[in-house]
Amino acid sequence: MSELPELQQDAITTVREFFAALEMGAVEEALGLLDPGIVWKNTSLPDVRGIGRVGGLLRGLDRPSFGFRADMNHIAAESTGSPIEEGSTVLTERVDYLRAGPVEIAFWVCGTFEIVDGRITLWHDHFSWENFLRGTAAGLWRAIRR
Read off the pLDDT of residues 50-107 as tens digits, 9 standing for 90 and up.
999 999 999 988 888 899 999 999 999 986 655 544 578 999 999 999 999 999 999 9
Residue 1 in any domain: the answer is no
Instruction: Write out the DSSP string of 52-108.
Output: HHHHHHHHHT-STTEEEEEEEEEEEEEE-SSSGGGSEEEEEEEEEEEEETTEEEEEE
Instruction: Indicate the number of domains in the chain.
Output: 1
Domain interval for residue 46: 11-145
Of the given ranges (1-15, 28-42, 106-120), which has the lowest mean pLDDT?
Answer: 1-15
Residue 36 in any domain: the answer is yes
pLDDT digits over 124-144, tens only? 999 999 999 999 999 999 999
Residue 63 sits in a domain whose CATH number is 3.10.450.50
Residue 2 in any domain: the answer is no
35 is catalytic: no
Residue 75 in any domain: the answer is yes
pLDDT digits over 117-129, tens only? 889 999 999 999 9
Residue 4 in any domain: the answer is no
Residue 5 in any domain: the answer is no
117 is catalytic: no
Which entry of 10, 35, 71, 96 is annotated as an active-site residue?
Answer: 96
